[in-house]
């Protein structure tokens, strides 16, 4: 077979979908349907479902399975046609003979199989191969592609056996070309006739929204239904994880102590990769803290990181453009995945970044922003934009989770209008009281934040006329992020008043950023596209909290 599926006992919670797909030939023969478009998050198990379907049909059914992945295909017309055609011939003959080695021995030329094919009475298949060779010899690219795509339907008619065509990452076929990229649009539509054939049900995977953009024939859309694959339930996710660990001979804490697994959102790919990360890190027994450690390795430099890196590599190759895209993605991540299109696109200047971002959106990569993808983006940003070492990146992500349960996050948007900064001061007052800040420091903190907001309001010239704020409180740290669009950050050009005098007089304007630096432990100013972000950090210790309230 063309791949190795999970053992049947480890294939969890997909039995209903598998049984339904196995019944597609009957549905199509009855004109009640027959084509299915599989949707779901990346790694959720779409390809694995096709693997299980293939195995089941290969050994148990009168239906011939054919699997083709566009993810690994060369999309130049001549290469694609030959690859698709020869792949189908091998898989069909392998199924007829019930001999998987015919597919696995891909180095053997197809010509050597022709005498064996003829010896079992499949002379019509030999004729199909000869016809295709004529198209190759005449260099007729169009008819090579047509002959390849139509072969499953032709074989179904000749053999009388239904052929189940499984097209993985089918939306990628939109980029099929003849000789150079973009020279022929609509080659993917050539699949239409094969999909209409009553003996040839198709199961396709692809990105969200691809169905409408690919299928322009209303009748084709009408005979294709969506099947949404969701995450594994929590109990089955734990069961699958523990099964992987058992295969790797790693002991595991009771299920009740594996709450951190919830971050994987029941995604089978993430679950498998985390188990392998534990094996790579030579863990003998896993507890919650071990899970966090293995997870941080996985999203920073493990197989999950490699998986997402390879996907991102499809959309942008230039290192400079890649860094620009990372900054934009990081902006979305830090806004909790809220995809404000205007805010995000406003930072794009180059056509390559814009095209890459549009392609990412169309592919569904950043739809929903699952926590694992967010952490991968953070890791990649720290390594490629900030230049941090891999071990520093792991420690940063790990430290976030070790204290995460005690974190709180608040967001606020204020208009750029007169005295709007006083609303922020009021919000800070409430947050400060919740954190038991003493009155002196709370007053100073309000003054610092008012100064930052005034700078954003008076000097940015923002078209949005808004300032975005995020407050992140931890047991040992307060972080405040102030962000706005418009002109780059500019220190107040007015005369600076000494910090001590400003604090003593309780002044609310004209102090400059010296005051901000004096009050906060760290002040970072970043420029992302056309947006300015000021990150204020204050370490919490006994000097700034009310006596008797400090607990660590």
- Give the tokens for residue 103: 């597919």
Q: Is residue 548 part of a domain?
A: no
Parallel, antiparallel, or unpaired for β 522-528 and 224-228? Answer: unpaired
Q: Is residue 546 part of a domain?
A: no
| Cα distances (angstroms) measured from residue 49 to each of 35, 60, 163, 223, 227 | 15, 16, 17, 21, 12
Q: Is residue 523 part of a domain?
A: yes
On whether the CB atoms of residues 75 and 172 are closer than 8 A, the answer is yes
Q: Where are the alpha helices (DSSP H) in 314-411?
A: 319-334, 341-345, 351-363, 371-384, 390-402
Q: Is residue 550 part of a domain?
A: no
Are residues 396 and 409 located together in one domain of the fold? no
Question: Residue 75: left if φ>0, alpha if ψ -120 to 50, beta else—which one?
Answer: alpha
Query: Could you give the 3-state DSSP secondary structure of residue 436?
Result: coil
Are residues 152 and 213 located together in one domain of the fold? yes
What pLDDT score does 348 carry?
A: 44
Query: Could you give the 3-state DSSP secondary structure of residue 528?
Result: strand
What pLDDT score does 548 carry?
A: 61
- Give the tokens for residue 12: 């969890």
What pLDDT score does 507 carry?
A: 44
Are residues 56 and 187 located together in one domain of the fold? yes
What pLDDT score does 492 carry?
A: 46
- Give the tokens for residue 55: 């195995």
- Enter the pTM of the model: 0.67
Q: Is residue 2 part of a domain?
A: no
What pLDDT score does 159 carry?
A: 92
Alpha carbon distance 401, 407 (integer Å): 9
Q: How many CB atoms lie within 10 A of CB 136?
A: 16
Are residues 510 and 535 located together in one domain of the fold? yes
Are residues 371 and 495 located together in one domain of the fold? no
Alpha carbon distance 147, 84 (integer Å): 10
Q: Minimal CA–CA distance to 372: which of 249, 280, 277? A: 277
Are residues 444 and 339 located together in one domain of the fold? no
388 backbone dihedrals φ, ψ, rounded to 5°: -80, 155
Q: Minimal CA–CA distance to 482: which of 453, 513, 506? A: 453
The residue among 189, 210, 228 that closes a domain is 228
What pLDDT score does 82 carry?
A: 93
Annotate 237-251 with DSSP letters as a single string: HHHHHHHHHHHTT-E
**Residues paired with 30 in a beta bridge:** none
Q: Is residue 344 part of a domain?
A: yes
270 backbone dihedrals φ, ψ, rounded to 5°: -60, -40
Place of tokens 């934040």: 449
Q: Would you call 297 exposed, middle or buried from its count of C-beta atoms within 10 A (0-12, 13-18, 19+)?
A: buried
What pLDDT score does 339 carry?
A: 46
- Residue 532 sits in a domain whose CATH number is 3.30.565.10
As a three-state string, the secondary structure of 187-220 is HHHHHHHHHHCCCCCEEEECCCCHHHHHCCCHHH
Parallel, antiparallel, or unpaired for β 408-415 and 466-474? Answer: antiparallel
Are residues 180 and 71 located together in one domain of the fold? yes
Q: Minimal CA–CA distance to 66: which of 45, 96, 109, 107? A: 96
Positive or negative CA dihedral for 244, 249, 255, 256? negative
Annotate 275-342 with DSSP letters as a single string: HHHHHHTT-SEE-HHHHHHHHHHHHHHSHHHHHHHHHHHTT---HHHHHHHHHHHHHHHHTTT---HH
- Residue 167 sits in a domain whose CATH number is 3.40.50.300
Alpha carbon distance 24, 18 (integer Å): 10
Alpha carbon distance 184, 398 (integer Å): 48
DSSP assigned state of 112: H
Q: Note down the domain range covering 466.
A: 404-539
Are residues 356 and 443 located together in one domain of the fold? no
Q: Minimal CA–CA distance to 475: which of 436, 514, 445? A: 436
Alpha carbon distance 71, 195 (integer Å): 20
Are residues 59 and 90 located together in one domain of the fold? yes
Instruction: Write the CB contacts of 376 (distance below 8 Å, at least 6 apart in sequence).
Output: 299, 304, 305, 308
Q: Is residue 545 part of a domain?
A: no
Q: What is the chain's pLDDT, residue by residue, as a tens digit (552 residues)?
A: 556 666 666 676 788 899 999 999 988 888 777 889 988 888 888 999 999 999 999 988 789 999 999 887 888 988 999 999 999 999 999 999 999 888 887 777 888 889 999 999 999 999 999 999 999 999 988 899 999 999 999 999 999 999 999 999 888 888 888 877 777 777 888 888 888 899 999 999 987 555 565 666 565 666 788 888 888 888 889 989 999 999 999 998 776 667 888 899 899 999 999 999 999 998 888 888 889 999 999 999 999 999 998 888 777 667 777 787 788 788 777 765 444 444 444 444 456 666 666 666 666 665 556 889 999 999 999 999 899 988 889 888 988 887 655 567 788 888 888 778 788 888 888 888 888 889 889 999 998 988 888 888 877 776 778 888 888 887 788 989 898 888 776 554 344 445 454 444 444 444 567 889 989 999 988 776 677 888 899 998 888 887 765 543
**Residues paired with 204 in a beta bridge:** 37, 167
DSSP assigned state of 462: -
| Cα distances (angstroms) measured from residue 441 to each of 363, 421, 446, 448, 478 | 48, 18, 9, 10, 13
**Residues paired with 76 in a beta bridge:** 177
On whether the CB atoms of residues 173 and 70 are closer than 8 A, the answer is yes
Helix (H) or strand (E) holding 409: strand 408-415
Angle, helices 319-334/351-363, rounded to nearest 10 degrees: 50
Instruction: Give the largest Cα separation in the chain, rounded.
Output: 100
Are residues 183 and 209 located together in one domain of the fold? yes
- What's the domain count of the chain? 3
The residue among 367, 402, 437 that closes a domain is 402
Q: Is residue 414 part of a domain?
A: yes
Are residues 219 and 100 located together in one domain of the fold? yes
Are residues 373 and 509 located together in one domain of the fold? no
Q: How many CB atoms lie within 10 A of CB 320?
A: 11
Instruction: Write the CB contacts of 146 (distance below 8 Å, at least 6 apart in sequence).
Output: 190
The residue among 385, 402, 419 that closes a domain is 402
């Amino acid at each position: 077979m063309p791949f190795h599926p999970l053992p049947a006992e480890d294939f969890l919670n997909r039995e209903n979908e598998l049984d339904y797909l196995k019944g597609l030939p009957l549905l199509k023969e009855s004109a009640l349907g027959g084509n299915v478009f599989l949707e779901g998050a990346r790694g959720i198990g779409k390809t694995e479902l096709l693997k299980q379907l293939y195995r089941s049909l290969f050994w148990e059914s009168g239906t011939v399975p054919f699997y083709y992945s566009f993810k690994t295909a060369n999309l130049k017309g001549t290469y694609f046609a030959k690859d698709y055609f020869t792949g189908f011939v091998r898989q069909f003959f392998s199924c007829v003979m019930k001999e998987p080695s015919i597919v696995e021995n891909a180095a053997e030329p197809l010509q050597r199989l022709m005498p064996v094919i003829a010896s079992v009475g499949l002379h019509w298949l030999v004729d199909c191969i000869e016809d295709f060779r004529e198209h190759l010899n005449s260099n007729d690219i169009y008819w090579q592609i047509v002959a390849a795509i139509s072969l499953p339907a032709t074989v179904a008619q000749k053999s009388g056996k239904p052929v189940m065509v499984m097209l993985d990452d089918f939306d990628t076929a939109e980029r099929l070309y003849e000789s150079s990229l973009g020279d022929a649009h609509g080659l993917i539509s050539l699949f239409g006739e094969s999909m209409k054939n009553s003996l040839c049900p198709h199961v396709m995977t692809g990105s969200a929204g691809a169905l409408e953009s690919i299928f322009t024939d209303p009748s084709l859309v009408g005979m294709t239904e969506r099947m949404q694959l969701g995450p594994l339930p929590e109990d089955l996710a734990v069961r699958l994880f523990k099964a992987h660990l058992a295969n790797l001979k790693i002991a595991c804490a009771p299920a009740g102590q594996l709450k951190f697994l919830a971050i994987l959102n029941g995604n089978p790919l993430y679950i498998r990769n985390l188990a392998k990360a534990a094996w790579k890190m030579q863990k003998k027994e896993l507890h919650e803290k071990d899970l966090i450690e293995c997870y941080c390795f996985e999203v920073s430099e493990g197989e999950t990181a490699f998986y997402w890196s390879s996907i991102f590599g499809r959309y942008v190759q230039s290192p400079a453009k890649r860094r620009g895209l990372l900054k934009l993605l990081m902006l979305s991540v830090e806004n909790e995945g809220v995809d404000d299109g205007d805010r995000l696109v406003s930072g794009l200047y180059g056509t390559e970044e814009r095209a890459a971002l549009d392609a990412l959106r169309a592919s569904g990569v950043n739809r929903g922003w699952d926590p694992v993808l967010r952490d991968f983006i953070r890791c990649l940003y720290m390594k490629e934009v900030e230049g941090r070492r891999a071990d520093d990146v792991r420690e940063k992500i790990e430290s976030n989770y070790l204290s995460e349960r005690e974190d709180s996050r608040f967001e606020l948007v204020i208009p750029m209008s007169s005295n709007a900064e006083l609303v922020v001061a009021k919000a800070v007052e409430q947050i400060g009281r919740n954190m038991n800040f003493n009155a002196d420091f709370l007053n100073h903190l309000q003054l610092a934040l008012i100064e930052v907001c005034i700078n954003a309001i008076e000097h940015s010239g923002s078209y949005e006329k808004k300032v975005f704020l995020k407050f992140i409180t931890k047991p040992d740290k307060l972080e405040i992020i102030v962000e706005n669009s418009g002109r780059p950050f500019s220190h107040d050009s007015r005369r600076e008043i000494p910090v001590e005098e400003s604090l003593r007089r309780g002044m609310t304007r004209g102090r400059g950023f010296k005051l901000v630096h004096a009050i906060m432990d760290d002040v970072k100013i970043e420029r992302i596209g056309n947006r300015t972000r000021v990150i204020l950090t204050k370490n919490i210790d006994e000097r700034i909290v009310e006596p008797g309230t400090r607990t660590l």
